[in-house]
Structure 1
């Protein structure tokens, strides 16, 4: 009985305690805390968000690439709007009455009780006029923010653009954004959105019955300051970026330059491009559709998405793997009669008369296909004919260490990884009946091996470093302390001893600086450059011009890959352009010189945009100019088949290229 009596008082005590807790909380809400008072009095108090300045983006030397300029948004809270002279407001902000009704209806649908953007991007002059009459427009207020401005109008794809958030982005960022806010949609603006956007501030503003602000509630006790976004210092050299975009004007292609010992990207050029200022202001929507509808696809970012067979750019990699495997040494010679016999198949060399007896150095300088067919066959047969599939699997794993077959991990959204076939992929295609003769084309960078321009430039960085690379990246530092992720300082070794790079680099030096070389057009006065030309076959028209290289030979400062679609053989466009970029970076000047009989201004002005299908004129077939003898000096080929509707635009349709 006593136990039951005690239990009764315990239960009563719990109820009393709960009641006291609720009463105490109610007292705190209604009397002690102003926070709930603010929430319950939105008619007199309004939360005004203070938008921070977006972080400035600079080049590696501090030159501003993206900055801010002030603008104003007219906000409306529909439930607070009272009858007023709508025509006067329309005249001030430059809209029609029909526009007014549409915008007000949109605001009502969004929320009657929360402020939303009624008219965005008002000029300073409009803002000044509006402020004088705000007392006449109950429910309306002006909100200050900043928008982007790009002083040099370069690097559209590199910098990216900002745009209004959608519902998915609002949900993804846990409520930081609200409708009408802006967010990075592409490029560095997207990749580093969190660092660039800063932190919003909040002011609790007190308004009177006439919609006139009375000041900050409680002397700002509940306010918070906006914190500006952090500055991004990029790795890009603005002068190289400008020069690259000028050289590729009215052309389709890409230029990627890397500082080998740091992985910092010096130039990131995708052509055709667009002026990033086109994606700012009231005309953003219209400009977006113009760029998007351009048949040359300016939004396509070629450095990380362009799909190309590496071709001759791959030959140094194949040579290094063969040297490391010990199937050849730098003195091992192969006789080239102008063709290579594999089983019952005959593979041609680029030089019909043959290159004679060649070792690794001469084979690279002359780009002798037969040499690379031969060393590939040796690697596939080193464990016997029955183990070719296993040998190939080991070989492709070694190739992957050079950054082929997967993404490199650049700090940029949307990097593509194109496939490098594994042994099982060939087995699915050919059943078990395949061997080295089936896949021999990969020995010279053709067939089932494709890369991006970034990967090609990174291969050159590996060779310049004699065995390693640092993940290519576009941001040198974030904020005042210039911190970056530690992964952009880590070395990735490719598993080839440094001693094997000597003969390969010798061959690349000869390719540029000797009479027998295929890349003589990239020779730079007083600078020892090492490189390799390539020709990418194009089923849609003239071949693509390719050059890869680095300079100077000793203590290399720049590694580069240049691809000019429809540019013909490698020495016609890609090699000269690479030499101009390299000379500019190493000497901070461009000496007046001619390559192939043309000046740098002629290379800039040439138009190589491919003819659109519906614009092709009926005419007799012309000779394939990509077959020009590289030992002869020829002028760059002029083309007027297409013009660019933007200052920097044009992109080829889908590229199904393989390499010669």
Structure 2
């Protein structure tokens, strides 16, 4: 019993010691940043080795993105001893003032943070860290500096790499790199000062797969922080590993050809392999050479010009531009009408121009002829029957019910929503539903006559060129699609899981046949609107579209601009290998005038590898054309 008091004293003492240690640890790790900085300083004794980024190949194994070796001149302030700025300036070709300004610039670039202990803003710059002093130097430039670096402690060379684009095409697909910012660098993060990170396109979306795995080399430093040896003979070093190649579905030569066809034009070309959803080409016009945005020097020099260009070469038109689809939309209206049972494939409707304007042609006796001749009154009547099915005695409520169902069908075609692709900057387009029109006109205060322009792909309906190409792929597959994507495989792993799944529309397979036949006749039979799309020996199925472009001026006056030219197609008819959408802004004429022949050249080039003599004049006509109200 006489020892009980001692026991409690000992327990109390141990508890107090534990509390003191816990508080100290909390203070060191959370409150006092000086300990964290000391740990970072110690960590700087290890050297991170950054591997080259993954090489990117097209579907045929051609290298579309590679790495080119450059050098950085690195500096660590704590290791600099009595810098002779005059001598150093002579070595690198700078003045003393330029050297002083560069030191200031490096500190400014690191930004600031709020110290939790003092509440004050402090610089992220740390004198024990290494920063790039000169960047993106060629081997010849660095070779004149390296032999003299021993005279300037604190400076060393670092091998780096930057991207190179051998073809100079596909800028909007591949993207570009830029330096990691202050929030992205740090001792516990992948990036350090001067590292580059993907900012757009494939480079951004697949950043983690492309950047590889860093290596670590531990070094022993002497009293003046010079490296004297590897720690433990490299026992704890790890090797940097370059990431596996990225294989694209893109055909780079087809991409280059498409960009050539679209010179002096605004718009887009998208081509998809229907069976896989792989994007074969994705042309945004106008475009730019991706080599213009390689490295900080070129970005600083060229980016402002590209941003300020009135023709917007940086804008990804195939992904982000939402256009009215025009008569290409009639293919889907036909399918929904048959699925809903408001028409059959043999339904005939008079071409009544008093209802809606149309070009001269015989009245369509069935769905196939309606698609072939692109009859506006036919699809006006079909869409009216879809919207008004007498599900309610109130005509406005009936319209809301019908439009709601119609919008569901459209969503099943990937319209009115973002396609979950591996590209960035994708727009959802617009498929109006009852809520959309309720905002404009009031709840149940509208009917089909209010929204009739949607029947022929005008008015509020808007699709991106990527969505249009996907519609063409759905037609080719007779009712399903795989989400369009750029990357075929990361290494040998194949596409991402979601790019292996078939997405089915709400329309049964059997209803596609009469529509597809109408698309074939549109190209190959008299009365079709796409005769300029014919290719000898290849059965093409296509649908033209002509889209009005009106701009409202001050005072409510409308300015009518030249029509947009639109065309979707796939080929061959019975074993489709390619589905294409072409959209040329303000080209004038109809879809068969400019978009259809352009699409046919893409198809012919992909399937045959060359343009036949018969179609050479067609090719030259497209190459020579200067369209789209070029600024």
Question: Shorter-chain TM-score: what band?
Answer: 0.7 to 0.9
Q: 1:82 to 1:580 in 2, by over 3 A?
A: same
The answer on whether the counterparts of 1:338 and 1:355 sit within 8 Å (CA) in structure 2 is no
**1:357/1:66 Cα in 2 relative to 1: closer, same or farther (>3 Å)?**
closer
Q: Give the C-alpha shift of residue 295 in structure 1.
A: 0.9
Are the structure 2 counterparts of residues 95 and 573 from structure 1 closer, same or farther at C-alpha, using a change threshold of 3 Å? Answer: farther
Q: Does 1:429 align with 2:465?
A: no
Q: Spell out the pairing of 1:79-228 with structure 2 (5 A cutoff).
A: 79-108=78-107, 110-170=125-185, 175-208=189-222, 213-228=227-242
1:308 and 2:323 equivalent? Answer: yes
CA distance in 1 between partners of 2:321 and 2:255 (Å)? 18
Residue 210 of structure 1: how far off its partner (Å): 7.2
Give the structure 2 partner of residue 8 of structure 1: 8
Aligned to 1:537: 548
1:409 and 2:420 equivalent?
Answer: yes
C-alpha distance in 2 between matches for 1:388 and 1:366: 28
| 2:263 alignment partner, SS class | coil
Distance in 2 (CA, whole Å) between partners of 1:168 and 1:212 is: 29
Q: Distance in 2 between matches of 1:331 and 1:242?
A: 43
| Greater alpha carbon shift after TM alignment, 283-292 vs 212-221 | 212-221
Report if aligned partners of 1:355, 1:368 keep a CA contact under 8 Å in 2: no
Conserved in 2, the CA contact under 8 Å of 1:511 and 1:517? yes
RMSD over aligned CA atoms reads 2.5
- Determine the C-alpha separation between the residues in 2 that align with 1:213 and 1:167: 27
TM-superposed CA distance for 1:104, in Å, is 1.5
Aligned partner of 1:624 in structure 2 is none
Per-residue displacement from partner, 1:16-35 (whole Å, max 9, x unpaired)? 9979x99xx9xxxxxxxxxx
Aligned to 1:473: 485
Query: Which string of whole-angstrom CA distances, capped at 9 and with x for unpartnered residues, describes residues 282-302 of structure 1?
Result: 222111111111111111001
Shift of the alpha carbon at 1:177?
1.7
Q: CA deviation at 1:223?
A: 2.2
Q: Whole-Å Cα distance in 1 between the matches of residues 377 and 93 of structure 2?
A: 71
Of residues 460, 468, 473 in structure 2, which corresponds to 1:461? 473
CA gap of 1:339–1:553, structure 2 versus 1, over 3 A, is: farther
Structure-2 residue corresponding to 1:606: 625
Cα pair 1:309 1:446 within 8 Å, conserved = yes
The Cα of 1:79 is off from its aligned counterpart by: 2.3
Instruction: Give the CA deviation at 1:144.
Output: 1.2
Question: In 2, distance between residues paired with 1:108 and 1:380?
Answer: 64
Classify the secondary structure of the residue corresponding to 1:427: helix
Q: Tell me, what secondary structure is at the counterpart of 1:438?
A: helix
Partners of 1:57 and 1:99 lie apart in 2 by 38
CA distance in 2, matches of 1:450, 1:213: 62
Change (3 A) 1:544 1:15: closer
Instruction: Assess, with a 3 A threshold, how the Cα gap between structure 1 residues 12 and 379 changes in structure 2: closer, same or farther.
Output: closer
How far off is 1:586 after superposition?
1.1
1:486 to 491, 497, 514: 497
Query: How far off its partner does 1:150 sit?
Result: 0.4
Q: Distance in 2 between matches of 1:409 and 1:502?
A: 28
2:512 aligned partner: 501
Superposition map of 1:235-634 within 5 A: 235-281=249-295, 282-340=297-355, 347-349=356-358, 351=359, 353=360, 355-384=362-391, 386=394, 387-431=398-442, 432-479=444-491, 481-539=492-550, 541-568=561-588, 569-594=590-615, 598-612=617-631
Asked if the contact 1:240/1:584 (under 8 Å) is kept, the reply is: yes
SS at match of 1:336: coil
Note if contact 2:270-2:582 (Cα within 8 Å) is conserved in structure 1: yes
User: Normalized against structure 2, the TM-score is what?
Assistant: 0.88
Distance 2:620 2:153 in 1: 60
**Residue 93 of structure 1, CA deviation:** 3.2
Secondary structure, aligned partner of 1:538? strand
Q: How does 1:639-650 map to 2 (within 5 A)?
A: none
Deviation at 1:138, TM superposition (A): 1.1
1:502-523 Cα distance to aligned partner (Å, 9 max, x none): 1101100000001210011111
User: Structure 2: which 5+ residue stretches go unaligned?
Assistant: 26-35, 109-124, 552-560
Describe the SS at the equivalent of 2:350. Answer: strand
| 1:180 positional shift | 1.9
Aligned residue for 1:339, secondary structure, equals coil
Deviations 1:369-424 (A, max 9, x none): 11101111112222255222111111111111111110111111121112221112
Residues 1:39 and 1:436: Cα distance change in structure 2 (over 3 Å) = closer
Tell me, in whole angstroms, the C-alpha distance in 2 between the residues paired with 1:473 and 1:334: 40
Give the structure 2 partner of residue 650 of structure 1: none
Structure 1 range deviating more: 412-421 or 61-70: 412-421
Deviations for 1:418-471, whole angstroms, at most 9, x for unmatched residues? 222111221232222311111111111111210100000001111111111111
Q: Which moved more, 1:364-373 or 1:75-84?
A: 75-84
Q: 1:41 to 1:421 in 2, by over 3 A?
A: closer
Selected match of 2:248 from 234, 259, 278: 234
Change (3 A) 1:336 1:416: same
Q: TM-score, normalised by structure 1?
A: 0.84
- How far off its partner does 1:68 sit? 0.2
Which range moved further: 106-115 or 3-12? 3-12
| Alignment-derived partner of residue 29 in structure 2 | none
Q: Is the 8 A contact 1:257 1:266 kept in 2?
A: yes
Give the drift of 1:227: 1.6
Secondary structure in structure 1 of the residue aligned to 2:562? coil
Cα pair distance change 1:42/1:86, threshold 3 Å = farther
- Say which SS state the counterpart of residue 129 (structure 2) adopts: coil
Q: Give the distance between the partners of 1:354 and 1:417, measured in 2 at CA.
A: 35
Distance 2:16 2:368 in 1: 93
Shift of 1:174: 6.3
CA positional deviation for 1:124: 0.5
Q: Using the TM superposition, give the Cα deviation of residue 265 of structure 1 relative to its aligned residue in structure 2, in angstroms.
A: 0.6
Contact map agreement 1:92 1:126 (CA 8 A) in 2? no
CA deviations over 1:549-608 (Å, ceiling 9, x no partner): 10010011111000111222212221111111101111122112348xx44134223222
Which residue of structure 1 lines up, in the alignment, with residue 119 of structure 2?
none
Shift of residue 128, structure 1, vs aligned partner: 2.0
- Residues 223/39 of structure 1: CA separation in 2 closer, same or farther (3 Å cut): farther
